[in-house]
Amino acid sequence: MNSRPFIISAIHEQALIIHIMYRWLVALFSSVVEGLDKESRIKKFTFRVINIVAKFTTSGRQQIMHLSTSNLRLIHLTHQT
């Protein structure tokens, strides 16, 4: 019997962290983006969220993000502090 402890390689750790972050993002955006649910795959997430055009401008000392979408709930989500 092998008595060595189970060791997760650095690649598997990074993949797990990325997977957890992706699931968190999908859960966050699924409440405001139509057609996206918590079990959505990367392709659907990309075409529903990532492809929204955004522009950052500076006003005074603040960075302001402008989104080119008509989804008011998504705009409100991005302007929360």
pTM of the model: 0.56
Q: Express each pLDDT in 11-59 by its tens digit.
A: 778 888 888 998 998 888 888 888 888 888 888 887 777 777 777 888 8
Q: Where are the domains of the chain?
A: 10-78
* Token reading at 19: 């997977």
Higher-scoring residue by pLDDT: 65, 19: 19
Q: Which amino acid is at 64?
A: I
* Token reading at 29: 């955006």
